[in-house]
């Protein structure tokens, strides 16, 4: 698959060179999504474009798919660097892309990065950190427009169930070191989740703020910084999307 990805990148380079040589307007837009999880590959990657095409590892069929036009899938695995799974797309269309990061083995942390270029080749390169476990799927969305000057928007899509998963995974990783704190956080989320189900938006916001207050109070005590940031971002996303 690495050879296929290299061939894809060479194809993009040749296309750009030919456009330049023949005086055509060059479209330098591109997108590369990558993730790694330490010394061994513990996560897989799936990209879904605005038309529903997929490239990457599709857990619904337990196989690699390459449906997105001008896309390739592969892995960088060189001595001295963490093995990295990536998907590249040449001249991506504007719209909302969905990214799934899939836990395939043990409980682990991961780093997720995106390198996006607009039609003139100007880059945006946001990086995110997360935690996952076997069978857990973390979902991100990328709102992309190749028009120069428009900054892509990237965010993780989170539910209360996702946040509860993050708390349990963080405890397993030692990012929460006290079982009582874990149970207290989960209990607050249970109450908030029930309010959301009943359509009680303000009550849910109050309960999520109580969760945030406890997380702030435990930062550096029983909650490590990596988990602190994830918990706050998760809770904020949920409140903003009630």
What CATH class does 2-157 carry? mainly beta
| Token couple for 139 | 């979902």
CA 10 to chain centre: 26
Report the alpha-carbon distance of residue 192 to residue 208 in Å, rounded. Answer: 6
Tell me how far CA of residue 85 lies from CA of 8, 18, 49, 67, 167, in angstroms. 15, 29, 18, 17, 25
Q: Answer whether 68's CB lies under 8 Å from 142's CB.
A: no
Q: Answer whether 32's CB lies under 8 Å from 88's CB.
A: yes
- Check residue 80 and give its pLDDT: 78
Strand partners, 72: 88
Q: Answer whether 162's CB lies under 8 Å from 234's CB.
A: yes
| Token couple for 156 | 């993780």
Q: Answer whether 15's CB lies under 8 Å from 30's CB.
A: no
Report the alpha-carbon distance of residue 65 to residue 53 in Å, rounded. Answer: 9
Q: Where are the domains of the chain?
A: 2-157, 160-240
Tell me how far CA of residue 47 lies from CA of 17, 58, 88, 114, 213, in angstroms. 27, 9, 10, 12, 35
* Residue linked to tokens 């296309």: 15
Write the burial class of residue 52 (CB in 10 Å: 0-12 exposed, 13-18 middle, 19+ buried).
exposed
Q: Which residues of 194-205 are buried (b: 16+ CB within 10 A; e: fewer)?
A: ebbeeeeeeebb
pLDDT values of the chain reduced to their tens digit, one per residue, 242 residues = 444 444 444 444 434 443 444 445 578 899 999 998 888 889 999 999 999 999 999 999 999 999 999 999 998 887 878 889 999 999 999 999 999 999 998 899 999 999 999 999 899 999 999 999 999 999 999 999 999 989 999 999 999 999 999 999 999 999 999 999 999 999 999 999 999 999 999 999 999 999 999 999 999 999 999 999 999 999 999 999 99
């Amino acid at each position: 698959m690495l050879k296929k990805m290299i061939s894809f990148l060479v194809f993009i380079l040749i296309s750009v060179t030919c456009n330049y040589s023949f005086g055509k307007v060059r479209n330098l837009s591109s997108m590369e999504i990558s993730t790694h999880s330490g010394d061994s590959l513990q996560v897989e990657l799936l990209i879904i474009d605005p038309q529903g095409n997929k490239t990457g590892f599709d857990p619904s069929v337990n196989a690699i798919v390459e449906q997105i036009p001008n896309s390739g899938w592969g892995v960088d695995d060189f001595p001295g660097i963490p093995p990295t799974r990536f998907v590249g797309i040449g001249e991506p269309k504007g719209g909302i892309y969905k990214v799934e990061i899939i836990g395939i083995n043990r409980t682990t942390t991961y780093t997720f990065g995106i390198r996006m270029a607009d039609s003139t080749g100007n880059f945006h390169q946001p990086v995110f950190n997360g935690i996952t476990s076997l069978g857990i799927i973390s979902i991100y969305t990328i709102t992309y427009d190749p028009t120069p000057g428009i900054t892509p928007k990237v965010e993780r899509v989170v539910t209360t169930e996702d946040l509860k998963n993050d708390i349990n995974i963080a405890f397993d990783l030692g990012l929460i070191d006290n079982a009582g704190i874990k149970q207290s956080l989960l209990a607050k989320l249970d109450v908030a989740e029930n309010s959301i189900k009943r359509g009680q938006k303000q009550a849910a916001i109050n309960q999520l703020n109580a969760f945030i207050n406890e997380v702030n109070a435990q930062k550096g005590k029983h909650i490590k910084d990596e988990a602190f940031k994830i918990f706050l971002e998760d809770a904020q996303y949920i409140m903003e999307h009630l």
